[in-house]
């Protein structure tokens, strides 16, 4: 069963990935979840930072850029204070920003391995 949503997630994904690249996020992966059964979002964006400070800076930059460029704000933000894993939920796009030491423990790319994956190179 294919999910259909009226809002195209691509402009938001492009804005998010540009904001991540601006603050030097590493290993940015965009996963298209639209054809994955039981997925609750259209797209996942996953990235990591080298320090807690960078993780927080990445999340803040995503929030600022999506608001400034697209007038979009996340519905919810979790983990901003711990700096190990921040989740920004835009409903049809969910952003996971990990501290590099934590990302491998959760292996989201493996968990959702049946999604179409696009790995972005560092800018």
Q: What CATH number corresponds to the domain at position 100? A: 3.30.460.10
Counting the structural domains of the chain, the total is 1
Q: Does position 123 have pLDDT exceeding 50, yes or no?
A: no
In a domain, 59, yes or no: yes
SS3 80: coil
What is the share, in percent, of the chain residues with pLDDT greater than 70? Answer: 86
Tens-place pLDDT, residues 25-71 = 999 999 998 888 888 889 999 999 999 999 999 999 999 999 999 99
pLDDT band at 106 (very low <50, low <70, confident <90, very high): confident
Task: Give the dihedral of Cα atoms 33, 75, 23, 106; nearest 10 deg.
Answer: -50
* Domain that residue 102 falls in: 10-120
In a domain, 63, yes or no: yes
In a domain, 82, yes or no: yes
pLDDT band at 109 (very low <50, low <70, confident <90, very high): confident
In a domain, 46, yes or no: yes
Separation between Cα atoms, residue 63 and residue 71, nearest integer Å: 10
In a domain, 24, yes or no: yes
Closest listed residue to residue 75, CA positions, set 92, 60, 98: 92
Average confidence score pLDDT of the chain: 87
Closest listed residue to residue 94, CA positions, set 45, 26, 56: 45
In a domain, 102, yes or no: yes
In a domain, 2, yes or no: no
pLDDT, position 13? 96
Dihedral sign, Cα of residue 64, residue 68, residue 70, residue 71: positive
pLDDT, position 113? 66
pTM of the predicted structure, to 2 decimals: 0.86
pLDDT, position 2? 43
In a domain, 5, yes or no: no
């Amino acid at each position: 069963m294919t999910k259909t949503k009226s809002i195209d997630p691509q402009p938001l994904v492009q804005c998010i990935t540009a904001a991540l690249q601006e603050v030097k996020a590493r290993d940015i992966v965009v996963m298209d979840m639209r054809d994955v059964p039981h997925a609750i979002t259209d797209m996942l964006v996953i990235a990591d930072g080298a320090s807690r400070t960078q993780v927080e800076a990445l999340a803040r930059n995503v929030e600022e850029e999506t608001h400034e460029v697209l007038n979009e704000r996340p519905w919810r933000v979790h983990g901003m204070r711990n700096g190990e894993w921040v989740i920004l939920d835009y409903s049809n796009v969910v952003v996971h920003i990990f501290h590099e030491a934590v990302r491998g423990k959760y292996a989201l790319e493996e968990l959702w391995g049946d999604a179409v994956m696009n790995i972005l190179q560092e800018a």
